[in-house]
Amino acid sequence: MKKASALVLSVIMLICSINFAPLSAAAYSKDDAPDVTEGVPFEVSVLAEDMNDVENRCIFAKFTPEQTAFYEFSFAQKFNGTVDDSMIVYITESGSDDMLSIALCTKITKKNREYAELLGVSENPSVATKMTAGKTYLLYILTTVAGGYTSDVTVQKHTHKTKLVTDKSYVDSESFKYNYNGEKYYCCTNNNCSYHKRVATYYKVKSVKLNGTAFTYTGKAKKPKATVITTKGKKLKQGTDYTISYSGNVKIGTAKATIKFKGKYTGKVVRKFKINPVGTSLTYLYSGRKSFAAYWKRKTTDTNGYQLQYSTDKNFKKNTKTVTIKSYSRRYKTIGRLKAKKKYFVRVRTYKKVGKTVYYSKWSKVKSVKTK
C-alpha cells in the first residue's frame, strides 16, 4: 500500500510541476526546438532541472507532417528511474496547451502494477496522436530522475492495436453531484495513443425514487419498487441495471431500500421509507354544551396513543387544534370551551414512538358534530 501511495504521489507531483517555471541546455524553447523528420532518429537528453521551466525549456522536438494521419514519437529506451521517480511525455499542437497524447512513467513492480494500470502509468514513454498535415506539433518531456534520461526517438506513422473497453456509469450515493456517464469505446493500446472511438454512451442517473415513502404496518415485509431514470429519460431495468435489497422493512419505523447498480452502471443508492402504525376510526361523536365527546376504536397493539384533531374548516387548513392522548387504552376524549351551536369537523389517528422518532398512522375519515 505504501508503494501504491508513493506511485500516486509521484505522478501527481509530476503533473503539478507543469504549472511552474529556470533551465537546462538539454532542452529547447518553442523558437529554437529542432525540426525532426519522419523516420529519422534523433536523441533526447532530459535533466531533472528541465521541469522547472516547462514553457521554455522542456520542448525537445517540432514536427510538421506532410500527411494527415496518426503519428508516434517512438522511444528506444524505456523509463530508467525507480518507483520514487517519474516522467511525463506529451504532445501539443503549437500554439495550444491541450495535451493530445500523454505518457506517465515510473518503475513498474509486482507491488504497484495493479495501481499503475488503474492510473494509466507504465515504463513506456512513447506517445501517439492524430496530426493534421501542415500543422506543427511539439514534444515535451519532464522527469524527476536525478541522473536524467536519454534515448533515441523516431517520429513515424502509428499502427493501431485496438481494444473494446466498457467504462461503467457511476452513481454517487449521496447527492448525485459526482454522477458521470459511462461509455463503450475502442481505444488503442499501443504507445499511449490518443485514439478513441465511442460506440455507446451510458447516460448518468438523474433520479432514483421509490413507489412509496410511507406504508402501513401489516406484520409483513414491505418491498417498494424503485424507478431509476437517466438524464436522457431512459428508465433502467431492475435485474439488468440494478438490484434492490431491504432492511428494517417489517416493523414500525424507518426502513431502507438499497439500490445496487450492475451491468453498465456501478455504485449504490440508499432510499428510506416509513412503516407507520395501523390507524383507527371514529365510532361516534356526542354533542354537548359548547363541547363534544369523540369516541374511537381502541388499539391495543403497536400503538402508544392517539391524536385527535378538530376544526371549523372541513379541510383542516385553518382554525385547527390537535390533542394528544398518551394512552392506547383510552377510547374517548371530551373537548370543551368551544363556541355554541358551531359545527366542528373531527378526525383521529394513532401514533407509536420508536427510539426518538414518532410514527403516525393515516387520519381517519372525518365526522362532524354541532355543539349545543
Whole-number pLDDT of residue 310: 98
Q: Is the pLDDT of residue 50 over 90?
A: no
> Residue 309 and residue 327: Cα distance in Å, rounded?
16
**Averaged pLDDT, 247-257:** 98
> Residue 235 and residue 173: Cα distance in Å, rounded?
18
Whole-number pLDDT of residue 5: 45
11 — pLDDT class (breaks 50, 70, 90):
low
Whole-number pLDDT of residue 117: 82
**Averaged pLDDT, 7-25:** 43
Q: Is the pLDDT of residue 9 over 80?
A: no
Cβ(32)–Cβ(61) under 8 Å?
Answer: no
Burial of 40 (0-12, 13-18, 19+ CB in 10 A): exposed
Whole-number Cα distances in Å, 134 to 63, 65, 131: 9, 6, 9
Whole-number pLDDT of residue 26: 52
Give residue-wise pLDDT tens across range 83-122: 888 899 999 999 998 999 999 999 999 888 888 887 889 9
27 — pLDDT class (breaks 50, 70, 90):
low
Average per-residue pLDDT for the chain: 90
Instruction: Express as a percent the part of the chain with pLDDT over 70.
Output: 90
21 — pLDDT class (breaks 50, 70, 90):
very low
CA atoms within 13 A on the CB side of 101: 28
Q: Is the pLDDT of residue 24 over 50?
A: no
Whole-number pLDDT of residue 281: 97
**Averaged pLDDT, 336-365:** 97
Whole-number pLDDT of residue 137: 97
57 — pLDDT class (breaks 50, 70, 90):
low
Q: Is the pLDDT of residue 357 over 80?
A: yes
- CA angle 116–118–120, rounded 5-degree value: 65
> 3-state SS string over the chain?
CHHHHHHHHHHHHHHHHHHCCCCCCCCECCCCCCECCCCCCEEEEECHHHHHCHHHHCEEEEECCCCCEEEEEEECCCCCCCCCCCEEEEEEECCCCCCCEEEEECCCCCCCHHHHHHHCEECCCCEEEEECCCCCEEEEEEECCCCCEEEEEEEEECCCCEEEEEECEEECCCCCCCCECEEEEEEECCCCECCEEEEEEECCEEEEEECCCEEECCCCCCCCCEEEEECCCCECCECCCEEEEEECCCCCEEEEEEEEECCCEEEEEEEEEEEECCCCCEEEEEEECCEEEEEECCCCCCCCEEEEEEECCCCCCCCEEEEEECCCCCCEEEECCCCCCCEEEEEEEEEEEECCEEEECCCCCCEEEECC
Q: Is the pLDDT of residue 219 over 70?
A: yes
Whole-number pLDDT of residue 56: 47
Give residue-wise pLDDT tens across range 259-315: 999 999 999 999 999 999 999 999 999 999 999 999 999 998 999 999 999 999 999
> Residue 107 and residue 47: Cα distance in Å, rounded?
17
Whole-number pLDDT of residue 10: 53
Whole-number pLDDT of residue 154: 97
**Averaged pLDDT, 60-84:** 95
Whole-number pLDDT of residue 120: 86
φ/ψ region of 51 (left if φ > 0, alpha if ψ in -120 to 50, else beta) reads alpha
Q: Which residues have C-beta within 8 Å of that of residue 129, sequence separation ≥ 6? A: 70, 71, 91, 100, 101, 137, 193, 194
Looking at per-residue pLDDT, the higher value among 52 and 222 belongs to: 222
φ/ψ region of 125 (left if φ > 0, alpha if ψ in -120 to 50, else beta) reads alpha
25 — pLDDT class (breaks 50, 70, 90):
very low
Whole-number pLDDT of residue 309: 98
**Averaged pLDDT, 47-66:** 73
Give residue-wise pLDDT tens across range 191-212: 999 999 999 999 999 999 999 9
Q: Which residues have C-beta within 8 Å of that of residue 4, sequence separation ≥ 6? A: 111, 112, 114, 115
Q: Is the pLDDT of residue 12 over 70?
A: no
Whole-number Cα distances in Å, 46 to 7, 23, 102: 21, 11, 17
Whole-number pLDDT of residue 220: 97
- Largest Cα–Cα distance of the chain, in whole Å? 110
CA atoms within 13 A on the CB side of 208: 27
49 — pLDDT class (breaks 50, 70, 90):
low
